[in-house]
Amino acid sequence: MMTIKRKPVVLIPADVKPLGEHPFHVVGHKYLVAVAEAAGALPLVVPSIGDLLEIEDLLAIADGILLTGSVSNVHPSHFDQEVHNPELPLDPARDALTLKLVQAAIKAEVPLLAICRGFQEVNVAFGGSLHQAVQEVPGLKDHREIKDVSIDIQYAQAHHIDLVADGQLAKIVGATQMMVNSLHGQGVDRLGDGLVAEAYAPDGLVEAIRVEKAKAFTLAVQWHPEWKVMENPQYLAIFRAFGDACRFRLRRHEPPD
């Protein structure tokens, strides 16, 4: 039996944010810790300089990819809409990397876990569209977090979701219903081609998706399972499943001793 000499490498595309007069490439601490502790993998931050990076080079070193949440939204030009609220932040540099990376990762059979903004990126990468302001859509609830409260309250469980029976997510968490947090203003409108819904909020909004024909683990969720992941068995199960998929890919591609 081949001995694995290293942990699987999980690539995490960075947000681009101004700090003073300069742009910085950043990833939230909680995502890095969740990959390292809950998935048992090595997190590697990838700068969002898509015009200077070859996707093939990234996939050559990737055992998995995590697309994180962010305060920024996917630019609506990617789903043929105008900007609804110019005051909300955008991150075109991240879009330029992640939207190409999603399709390439699926084709290369690299495991993919996508969270919040990442969930929306997956939908857009497959030709889907987004509600830019879920709270303004008739019949849908306000899924944004409560402002001006502690972060623990913002990330507290906000509502339940119904998981598709016998779906991938239901099998991972061992349930057909679970409680999740909710911190998003955008949400899935038209589901992308080849995507399958795995869970729904009580108002019918899609909360989890997978790529139907993906040969490797591919799961995208609208909530934040990285938050205190070691204290939530269902959140932990998601990261454990992702980590297992990354280790499986590593075993398949690691050179023999």
The residues assigned a catalytic role are: 116, 224, 226
CA distance 62 to 111: 9
Phi, psi of 215 (to 5 degrees): -90, -20
Give dist(CA 25, CA 94) in Å, integer. Answer: 10
DSSP code, position 23:
E
What sign results for the dihedral spanned by CA atoms 29, 100, 235, 8?
negative
Token pair for residue 171? 């099998």
Going from the C-alpha of 255 to that of each of 3, 19, 58, 245, the distances in angstroms are 10, 41, 18, 18
Cβ 74 vs Cβ 120: under 8 Å? yes
Chain centre distance of CA 181: 15
Contact 196, 154 (CB under 8 A): no
Alpha carbon distance 180, 194 (integer Å): 25
Total residue count of the chain as it appears in this document: 257
Q: H or E element: which one contains 213?
A: none
